[in-house]
């Protein structure tokens, strides 16, 4: 078998990576992919174990310099981007990660998230109702995007008139997370990082002077045993929450509906029994994983399924493949909206486990329920196209009729 079956730049692979993963899991569950210089890991057991293994990290900078890890020093022009990203918890490791996650968790509580449910239900109902009233449109642009963008903005306290700025900034920043991004995309990401932080710095200062009942205010006030977030950490956290808080949810909604349209029997089953929504949310997250791959640096030599991987290497953990592993999921290519148990790893595992998983679950449940109720005959109007990127894998648009 050649490496070509795993081709994250090929539109065919992006549209349907699952046959390639089936082959990889069976024949080469751990292999080195030259074009990305990454070790590709495709079995559930291995992905699961590596996510919990402290010999790997999302960064190596807490233990080594770029040179030691065989990497070129970062270009000077990227500094504003990396300063911003490394001020949030996702791209740091303990002890900094432990400290940031503890502080942010004190403001981003389960109670606060559950308290958002009525607002999310109202918003989902309004968006679904508007789509149904005009007989259809682009489900992605008209429901999947505005719901999580407005929820996260509302939660943080970004004024309504500024919200249209968020998605372009976030999309530009996320361009850096695609594999081997071109320099133009890197420069765009830096520009967005600077503009986004300037905007949030001004907003955070306003909230510090005039506190409100929102998460930015709470983050400016949070104190844990005398420790608090610095201003840079506060800004890094807001950017992380605003980006992580909607990118994957938009794609999860679009991919989820596309899965339902391709499985009309299951869609009918759900329409007939809305009590299936909670297990349907989990199954749709498993069946077509919106964030299909996460990377880790190898901080100490490891052996995975008998293959030695040295310190300094990078692994690409294929969540989408793990979620279709027949060793864990019976009949994994079948969409079963009542699947239970469903130990998918779409929200990750270990210390970086998605902080927003409870919020994402509420948003998805409310948006599926709202659309199923407002548009009981919702159907596909045109075959959708995928956006080119594999790392943030989602549809360009999803045209529907009601």
By the criterion CB under 6 A, which residues form the site for ligand HEM? Answer: 58, 89-90, 101, 152, 240-241, 244-245, 248-249, 252, 290-291, 294, 346-348, 352, 354-356, 359-360
Say if residues 214 and 111 touch (Cβ distance below 8 Å): no
Say if residues 250 and 369 touch (Cβ distance below 8 Å): no
Let me know if 67 is exposed, middle or buried by CB neighbors in 10 A (0-12, 13-18, 19+).
exposed
Nearer to ligand HEM, 85 or 90 (CB): 90
How far is residue 250's CA from residue 86's CA, in Å, rounded to a whole number?
24
Nearer to ligand HEM, 354 or 381 (CB): 354
Nearest-CB residue for ligand HEM: 356
Say if residues 315 and 33 touch (Cβ distance below 8 Å): no
Partners of 137 in beta bridges: 400
What is the smallest separation between the CB atom of 351 and ligand HEM, expressed in angstroms?
Answer: 6
What is the smallest separation between the CB atom of 326 and ligand HEM, expressed in angstroms?
Answer: 22
Nearer to ligand HEM, 132 or 359 (CB): 359
Tokens 């994250």 — which residue?
8
What is the smallest separation between the CB atom of 347 and ligand HEM, expressed in angstroms?
Answer: 5
What is the smallest separation between the CB atom of 8 and ligand HEM, expressed in angstroms?
Answer: 17
What is the smallest separation between the CB atom of 274 and ligand HEM, expressed in angstroms?
Answer: 20
How far is residue 150's CA from residue 79's CA, in Å, rounded to a whole number?
30
How far is residue 190's CA from residue 328's CA, in Å, rounded to a whole number?
41
Nearer to ligand HEM, 122 or 379 (CB): 122
E-state strands within 299-369: 302-304, 307-309, 314-318
Nearer to ligand HEM, 51 or 203 (CB): 51
What is the smallest separation between the CB atom of 150 and ligand HEM, expressed in angstroms?
Answer: 12
């Amino acid at each position: 078998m050649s490496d070509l079956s795993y081709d994250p730049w090929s539109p065919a692979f992006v549209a349907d990576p699952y046959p390639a993963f089936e082959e990889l899991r069976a024949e080469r569950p751990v292999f080195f992919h030259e074009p990305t210089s990454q070790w590709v890991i495709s079995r559930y057991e291995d992905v699961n174990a590596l996510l919990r293994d402290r010999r790997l990290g999302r960064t190596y900078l807490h233990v080594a310099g770029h040179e030691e890890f065989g990497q070129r020093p970062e270009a000077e022009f990227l500094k504003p981007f990396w300063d911003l990203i490394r001020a949030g918890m996702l791209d740091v490791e303990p002890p900094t990660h432990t400290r940031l996650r503890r502080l942010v968790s004190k403001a981003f509580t389960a109670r606060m998230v559950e308290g958002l449910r009525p607002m999310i239900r109202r918003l989902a109902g309004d968006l679904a109702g508007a789509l149904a009233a005009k007989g259809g449109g682009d489900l992605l642009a008209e429901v999947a995007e505005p719901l999580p963008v407005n929820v996260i903005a509302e939660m943080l306290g970004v004024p309504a008139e500024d919200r249209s700025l968020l998605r372009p900034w976030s999309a530009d920043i996320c361009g850096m997370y695609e594999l081997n991004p071109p320099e133009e995309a890197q420069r765009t990401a830096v520009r967005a990082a600077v503009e986004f932080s300037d905007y949030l710095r001004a907003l955070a200062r306003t909230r510090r002077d005039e506190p409100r009942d929102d998460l930015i205010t709470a983050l400016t006030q949070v104190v844990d045993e005398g420790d608090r977030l610095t201003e840079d950490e506060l800004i890094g956290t807001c950017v992380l929450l605003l980006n992580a808080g909607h990118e994957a949810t938009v794609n999860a909604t679009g991919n989820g509906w596309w899965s339902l349209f391709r499985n009309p029997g299951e869609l009918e089953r759900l329409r007939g029994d809305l009590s299936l929504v909670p297990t349907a949310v989990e199954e749709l997250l498993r069946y077509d994983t919106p964030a299909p791959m996460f990377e880790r640096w190898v901080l100490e030599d490891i052996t995975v399924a008998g293959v030695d991987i040295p310190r300094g290497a990078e692994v690409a953990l294929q969540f989408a493949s793990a979620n279709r592993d027949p060793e864990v999921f019976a009949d994994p290519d079948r969409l079963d909206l009542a699947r239970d148990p469903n130990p998918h790893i779409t929200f990750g595992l270990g210390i970086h486990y998605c902080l927003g998983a409870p919020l994402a679950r509420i948003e998805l449940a409310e948006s599926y329920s709202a659309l199923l109720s407002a548009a009981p005959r919702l159907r596909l109007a045109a075959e959708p196209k995928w956006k080119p990127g594999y790392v943030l894998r989602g549809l360009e648009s999803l045209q529907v009729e009601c």
